[in-house]
Structure 1
């Protein structure tokens, strides 16, 4: 089978490799589509060899397709089933991908594979918003794909006031269509000023993953409020906070990570129930054939968040008029 592999920094190779065989508790998926992660995949591509974590995850982890075969003990799915999957055991820019059963979710028949791969973000958004209560006021910084997915989950959790912020007015148009109560266009040149969002939020969610956006959330929440670190801090892995400010407010914090299999299973169970009602079409910008993966990667690389926070920015913001790109074998 064909599989794109990241063999060096900014160096991709399309190789012919054996089809993986599912072991106990594993599922082999014939890939219908694999969407590009706007953070992990891009950071692996640009920083492989410079940051240790860039060699610890699989390149291409947002997969949808049809179950080809299952290993011993698999009970939640069967050959022929349409599924979406996360955290595969082999790269997803391929004809087939191997996944643990716990990472597989049912894909509704009406959702095309190109959109279905985006559902990998849904369990993440479900787990990230676990501390949101009915009636909460919530601020979300960042309206890329994971921010827009989180916006939809917040509405279903009963948040009474959802205020979102982004650099890109084009993305904020989608936020309004997907249920944001108020949108705020921010200015990357004035990173310390978040006053336009207001304050005293019950929950503030960093859906970007930079030192500036993480610290902004501290300023936005009320006393005893909750800060959620959803965006992955793959570029600036060390973030400095004023812990006196945390102490004065008595803040709580959690991340989006699911540290145990029971956590993963619980988030996937909720995600499967929510999936039929999630708007995915506004998040998909274009589909590319497998051979054009390098072109798609370069398009997404026109992003300011790929540069360290204190360095000169090669880009002024996110890639223009682009959210998710799907790769179709």
Structure 2
């Protein structure tokens, strides 16, 4: 079968590899759509990921498709079922799983290889994080379940309250999903303001369509924390969410929060990087700095429901559909910020 293999930094190759066969408790799906993701872009540019994969490896982690083969012992699914698998599953037995902190599971299993004609789904994911696609939902839309699940997890951990003034740094796909879910009031109630800073006028227009109340091109603002304070009666934002994965943006996010605010440092930075924090500000302003990673089975289900109900026009995030053979060009377009997400079609 044709599949994408990541060998290193910006070294992604399409190769013919053996088609997978399911083992006990596993299934194989024929991939109908595999969406590109900001995490994939970062991994491609950096040449690896500390938790999810090490090259050389099959690549991609968002997919939806049709079950093409069942392993022994799988009785709850049938060949031909339309399904969306999450890219991970917790062990359910460790210290963190006992406390329902599933994203911190020390035996969290990850599954990569969605940019391919077929994808094997490990038994733990089949048991916990494989969901049927509603009849009204396309494969491309269903494929966005995994990143939206991460976003919903991030919102739930942000200590937000109805009526909050929220600042979001970043206009990538994840940042725009945050806008859509926040504007819908998912889990926390609707904020009074969603102020977005981004680098693309076109993406900021999408943010407004998804519910942002104010948008700003970050390079056109000389003093972003100062502007945030001027927009919030001199205080700063109640909640700040960083969705770029750059250390300097983490520091900027902290500077945008009011006393007592929560700063969600959501974007994963390159390994080994550090930030500087003003200890006086952190202590006397009682700031909450929170890192939030990945998703949990609860939010995987919530994400698919959110997409299926049409709560927000998330189709605005799908810039294009392309055959798998064009994957290299698509990653170049993502690097150059010409597209938001692209649904790759292996068939």
TM-score range, shorter chain: 0.7 to 0.9
The yes-or-no answer on 1:92 pairing with 2:114 is: yes
User: CA, structure 1 residues 251+141, in 2 after alignment: closer, same or farther (shift >3 Å)?
Assistant: same
Change beyond 3 A, Cα 1:162–1:64: same
Cross-structure match for 2:43: 44
Aligned length: 305
Matched, 1:242 2:259: no
**Deviations 1:42-79 (Å, cap 9, x if unpaired)?**
23323227x76662786211111122234466577543
Superposition pairs of residues 1-329 of structure 1, within 5 angstroms: 1-38=1-38, 40-48=39-47, 55=54, 59-71=59-71, 77-87=77-87, 89-99=111-121, 100-101=125-126, 102-130=128-156, 131-155=159-183, 156-157=185-186, 158=189, 159-187=191-219, 190=222, 193-197=224-228, 198-199=231-232, 200-234=236-270, 237-258=273-294, 264-276=296-308, 277=310, 278-302=312-336, 319-320=337-338, 322-329=339-346
Distance 1:120 1:107 in 2: 13
Distance 1:275 1:77 in 2: 22
Query: How much does 1:128 deviate?
Result: 0.2
Consecutive unaligned residues of structure 2, counting only runs of 5 or more, are: 88-109
Structure 1 unaligned blocks of 5 or more: 303-318
Looking at structure 1, the residues matched to 265 and 298 of structure 2 have their Cα atoms a distance apart, in angstroms, of: 19
Contact 2:320 2:343 in 1 (8 A): yes
Q: Give the 3 Å change call, closer, same or farther, for CA 236–77 of structure 1 in structure 2.
A: farther
| Secondary structure of 1:91 counterpart | coil
Alignment-derived partner of residue 312 in structure 1: none
1:271-296 deviation digits (Å, cap 9, x = unpaired): 23212224222101111111111111
TM-fit CA distance, 1:25: 4.8
Q: Report the CA distance shift for 1:128/1:19 in structure 2 as closer, same or farther (over 3 A).
A: same
Deviation digits for residues 230-275 of structure 1, max 9, x if unmatched?
22213774333333322222112333314xxxx6111112223212
Provide, for residues 92-131 of structure 1, a one-character-per-residue CA deviation record: whole Å limited to 9, x for no partner.
1101112322333333333322333223211111100003
Provide TM-score, normalisation by structure 2: 0.78
**TM-score of the pair, normalised by structure 1:** 0.82
Q: What is the distance in 2 between the residues matched to 1:68 and 1:143?
A: 37
Residue pair 1:23, 1:71 contacting (<8 A) in 2 also: yes
Alpha-carbon distance in structure 2 between the residues aligned to 1:28 and 1:237: 38
